[in-house]
Chains A and B, each alone.
Chain A
Amino acid sequence: MENLVTLVPLIPIVPLLTFAIIVVFTRRNNKLSSYLAVAAIFISFLISMVIVFNAVAGMPHFAEEPAVHLTLLRIPTGATTLDIGVQIDPLTVALLFMVPTVCLMIFIYSIGYMEGDPRYSRFFAYICLFATGMLGLVVADNLLLLFISWEVMGLCSYLLIGFWFEKPEAMWAGLKAFITTRIGDVLLMLGMVILYSQTGALRFETVFEGVEHLAQTNPNLMFITALLVFGGAVGKSAQFPLHVWLPDAMEGPTPVSALIHAATMVAAGVFLVARMMPIFVVLAGMPALAWVAAIGAITAFFASTIAIAQDDIKRVLAYSTISQLGYMIMCLGIGGFVAAVFHLITHAFFKALLFLGSGSVIHGVGTNDMMEMGGLRKKMPYTFWTFLVGMLALAGVPPLAGFWSKDEILAIAFVQNPVVWVMGTLAAFVTAFYMTRQVCLTFAGEPRNEDIHAHESPPVMYVPLIVLAVGAALLGLLGVPADFPVLGPLLGNNPFHHFLAQQFHHWDYVHLPHVGFNASVMLISVVMALAGIGLGYLIYGRKPLGAGQRDPLERMGVIWTLLRNKYYIDEIYRATIIRAAIGVADLFLSFDQGIIDGIVNLIGKLTERWSWVSGLFDTYVIDGIVNGVGRVTSAVGQELRYIQTGRVQNYMIMVVISLLLLVGVFLYM
């Protein structure tokens, strides 16, 4: 393992280099750029798999030592050093299994989906950078590298959501995602600063050792710090009340939606909370964790209800993602570390599958509106069957992946917090319902729009769907509870749980609950899932909607309107926070115009008076002001004109380039 860790930096670096190569060299060659990108992520994938298999084979290792490190940089900071490096620990390994695999599928799929786009190469450059961000985040052994990767992803999400920036919605969506997640980023940074100032370190292990002391000396600060770090996750993982950016992020190309929703961006927030688990549980009574659970449970339920009333095929999935992330956060909030990570991974597979499937549908029919679709089952068979697997997995139908992971969460919730369990179970029911609605509206019955002639997507698109469908179907078997009759022992007594549970072995204060198999909870969740599907089938499946028919749920009246408009949260934000911000800006403007200008004018007036009284400076001052204004204006114009010739920029670029060259030359001399 010690030797293998030297390979770890390559996992994020290869896509990063590819990003640079595409931007600098191969930008004009679309085909080459896309192949390079796929090759890069494939290399990352191979390295990751080598690491994963070795880590799993060498399992006892992590019980003795929390992680294998490789320090890349040592920054001297006066008395101490700041070490920046990568690490391998069970959590990293788990994500290294998921992230490159899903990314690889999405990259391959993009070759087909983005066909003919005028900025084809640029797209592949961006998604390479995106993958770099996520992979760097996963392998980081310290908060600094984690934060940098986190921000790289934030930048990429902005670039990719607004990729079709000719569409104003896309531009605004990119901006909205960037600004909303920025709120969380600032909170995270504050938390990071506090942790650094209190523990003197940014490396996770050292921080975890240091917070034990902090929790005793200053519990309030510890509590606030944990909440600040959680704030970062709330922004990134689109939890209530910062969830508003994610549905709008649908404006980006569909592979980007899949990337954001499954493998990268939103997973980062859950990953952060999982990674920083010790700082949430270090305080007696775990007050911070209660907040995590509450936010997660609220998000899980409320986002799932919104999904019922959406017509945009991707928007339904977006709210479903928010809801599922709520599940994970909620699960972390009740101490279910392993279950949350397990769900993160299975969810990545089936949500990527669903998104790519919806992309395939959009590719085929050319619209996002499910009301225009219908009857696609025969026209797009591969898409239909894989989509169905994804839908059943998400709905929690045994024995697909989503069933096992969701059930583990509910089993823990049942023991730890009944309220959370009720919310989770209800959400599971609603999830099964809206997914059935989606499948029926899209694939069942006859086409509702005669003008649309759907066709199946090319193999480069549906082969990834099949691979992901296999994952979505079978992955759950890694996490079958050990005491599940027959299957448990047969499948190695829950190897996933066994592996990941070593994560926080080294910190005595981390006590995570272990909950076994509970037949009644499992039975209830299966019944709920089937009930949701059944109800969905009754309403949408038995008699599929014909052309021009309205959604039967509209009969719910006020509730429908409320759900359809997403509880008016965007409108509330616009009426309160955004208006307040604009109001403050206006206030400053009027302050500027009223008071500052007033003062200036007053001074001007006084001067005028005084000069009139003295009668001496008359011509000088007043004429001077008038002429001066004219002269300054024309001078500024002149100056700007000269600046526009562009030479100064060249000077500066030359300065920076030569300086960087010097630094490079002398560092490697």
Chain B
Amino acid sequence: MDWAETLILLSPQLILVVWALLVLGLDLLVTKAKDSLAYLALAGLAPALGAAVYLLLQRTGQSLLSGMVQVDAYSLYFTVIACLASGLVILASMEYMKARTRYRGEFYGLLLLATLAMTLMAASTNLIMIYLSIEFMSLTSYVLVGYFRDDPKSSEGGLKYFLFGAVTSSLMLYGMSLMYGATGTTDLAEIATNLAAMHATMPPMRWLILPAILFMLAGFSFKMALVPFHQWSPDAYEGAPTPVATLLSVGPKAMGFSILLRVLITAVPLFQFDWVAILMGISLVTMTLGNLTAMRQTNIKRMLAYSSIAQAGYVLVGLVSLVPSSIGIQGVLLYLMAYLFTNAGAFIAVIAFSHVTNSDEIADYAGLVRRAPALAAVMVVFFMSLAGLPPTAGFVGKLLVFGAAVQAGYYYLAIVGVVNSVISVVYYFNVVRQMFFLPPTVEGRLSLPRFPMAAVIICVVLVLLIGLYPQPLIDLVSQSVTLLAVIP
């Protein structure tokens, strides 16, 4: 393993580091044309994304930096998700940030740093690295959520997010220390071998490993906003700049799943029976609670926050159905990609709307079809995808994860999932009802901002594309999960 090869394999991360620092540095010099920094940030994401896609198609798989990170199809898949999410968010932020704050140069720098943190989360294979990357991600997110420091809601959201994150992070660290204490290593693969060796000699260690898993799970679940570690998310989403809420709902959430899968499957396959049970419970509660609470919301950002909690519950259905075939895990990966475009699309549509109307109230969406027909139309697509109706990406994702649940014999899980999807139709289509069947309270066409609309178009195209022709993506995810090595 020579240095050149290491550098190439880590090129997405390296590009992001350099570009983030560049943007931050230029922010001090560029005083007038702050928006050029957004273009610059986009220009940095493109090569990072390109490098990740290139490496992904190369089918590489290599452990780097003394086992701290691993660059393989699995981590690269999530790297691609991270770069895409970040790109969409930058597009969505341009007009939005311009209208709201003078200090937006470092916003883009922070976004790039958040992207870097996400790619590191995806690649970590050591508890120390996992902890560091999660903290890195969290710290940048706290700042981003509380970015409008003059806005009490934003500050409140940031502070709540921070306090909540600090608690769960300490719980996670405690779990990691238990794991290290029990096995004497922080390397995921070595943990598995040591546990297997100890299992033969010292059977009664379940009571130590299980708390370790559960405590770590608390930290990961915080990132994924799984019940009962979800309470921060509605407040943070509502208070945060909406582009940041977009990022939080798709980026760190996906990365949380990537780490969760990696840790559970690589390090503690021995305790699969236990953690499957735990996650199954969490999945049921998360879907149901998320959906039921979403129904009661009048603010569309809070509704989407609860809906994205529920979505994480569906993803867990795929995760727990990992036997007898890898279709469940494939479903997780595909679902996350589909969810990226769907949820980001929905959020960005909300950004576009609130940019011109300054409102996030669902009631204000009344008659939108007459004021902005295109926006209303794409929102229908996103809501269909969120509810899992064909022919959208969300349908393919749900098909895979629920199919895996049936295959694994978890019928009730699939049934609860489907029932939940039906419930979710109610509140998604409540918005659709507002947009199409109610008269507008205010007349006049809306002139929508350009860049967010571009992002929305990209999303809607991809949502439909994946929904109509999912085969390439399915091939990609099946290749990615085989490299996760331990999948049966």
Contacts and interface: CB of A to CB of B under 8 A. Distances in A.
- A in complex with B: yes
Interface of A: 74-79, 81, 631-632, 635, 638-639, 642-643, 647-648, 651-652, 654-656, 658-659, 662-663, 666-667, 669
A653 B277 CA distance: 24
A655 B167 contact: yes
A213 B34 CA distance: 70
B231 A639 contact: no
A663 B194 contact: no
A669 B281 CA distance: 14
A74 B185 CA distance: 19
B208 A76 contact: yes
29 contacts: A74-B204, A74-B205, A76-B208, A77-B181, A77-B184, A81-B202, A635-B152, A638-B152, A639-B156, A642-B155, A642-B156, A643-B156, A643-B159, A643-B160, A643-B163, A647-B160, A648-B159, A648-B160, A651-B160, A652-B164, A652-B167, A655-B171, A656-B167, A659-B214, A663-B211, A663-B215, A667-B210, A667-B211, A669-B274
B149 interface: yes
A642 B205 CA distance: 44
A76 B182 contact: yes
Contacts of B211: 663, 667
Contacts of B171: 655-656, 659
B-side interface size class: 35 or more
A75 B184 CA distance: 12
Given A639-B156, A651-B231, A655-B228, A632 B149 contact: yes
Interface in B148-181: 149-150, 152, 155-156, 159-160, 163-164, 167-168, 171, 181
A642 B239 CA distance: 12
B182 A638 contact: no
Given A638-B156, A655-B168, 16 more contacts: A75-B208, A78-B182, A78-B185, A635-B150, A635-B152, A635-B155, A642-B152, A642-B155, A642-B156, A643-B160, A655-B164, A655-B167, A659-B218, A662-B214, A662-B278, A667-B207
A79 B184 contact: yes
A639 B159 contact: yes
Contact of A78 (B159, B160, B183, B232): B183
B485 to A, nearest CB: 24
Interface in B223-282: 228-229, 231-232, 274, 277-278
A651 B218 contact: no
Contacts of B182: 75-78
Nearest to B212: A663
A663 B207 CA distance: 9
Contacts of A662: 214, 278
A663 B214 contact: yes
Given A76-B208, A77-B184, A651-B164, A659 B215 contact: yes
A541 B167 CA distance: 66
Contacts of A648: 159-160, 163-164
B150 A631 contact: yes
A663 B210 contact: yes
Main secondary structure of the interface of B (DSSP, over half): helix
B202 A655 contact: no
Nearest to A632: B149
B356 interface: no
A416 to B, nearest CB: 45
A666 B202 contact: no
B43 interface: no
B374 interface: no
B198 interface: yes
A647 B235 CA distance: 11
Nearest to A635: B149
Given A77-B181, A631-B150, A666 B210 contact: yes
A642 B215 contact: no
Please provide the 8 A-B residue pairs with the shortest distance between their CB atoms, ordered closest to farther: A78-B184, A642-B156, A658-B228, A651-B231, A638-B152, A639-B155, A76-B205, A652-B167
B198 A638 contact: no
- Most chain B C-beta atoms within 10 Å of own C-beta, residue among A76, A647, A656: A76
Contacts of A666: 210, 214, 274, 277-278
Given A643-B159, A648-B160, A78 B214 contact: no
Contacts of B163: 643, 648, 652
Nearest to A651: B231
Contacts of B208: 75-76
Contacts of A667: 206-207, 210-211
Interface in B60-78: none
Contacts of A663: 210-211, 214-215
A652 B206 CA distance: 26
Given A631-B149, A666-B278, A654 B159 contact: no
Interface string B182-219: 11110000000010001000101111101100110010
A82 to B, nearest CB: 9
B149 A654 contact: no
A661 to B, nearest CB: 9
Contacts of A638: 152, 155-156
Contacts of A643: 156, 159-160, 163
B210 A655 contact: no
A412 to B, nearest CB: 44
Contacts of B183: 76, 78
A253 to B, nearest CB: 37
Contact of B218 (A74, A75, A78, A655): A655
Contacts of A632: 149
Contact of B202 (A74, A635, A651, A652): A74
- Most chain A C-beta atoms within 10 Å of own C-beta, residue among B150, B159, B198: B159
A222 B198 CA distance: 33
A667 B155 CA distance: 40
A643 B163 CA distance: 10
- Most chain B C-beta atoms within 10 Å of own C-beta, residue among A77, A638, A643, A648: A648
Nearest to A628: B149
Contact of A654 (B156, B206, B228): B228
Contacts of B218: 655, 659
A655 B229 contact: yes
A79 B156 CA distance: 47
A225 B160 CA distance: 46
Nearest to A657: B228
A128 B210 CA distance: 32
Contacts of A635: 149-150, 152, 155
Contacts of B202: 74, 76, 81
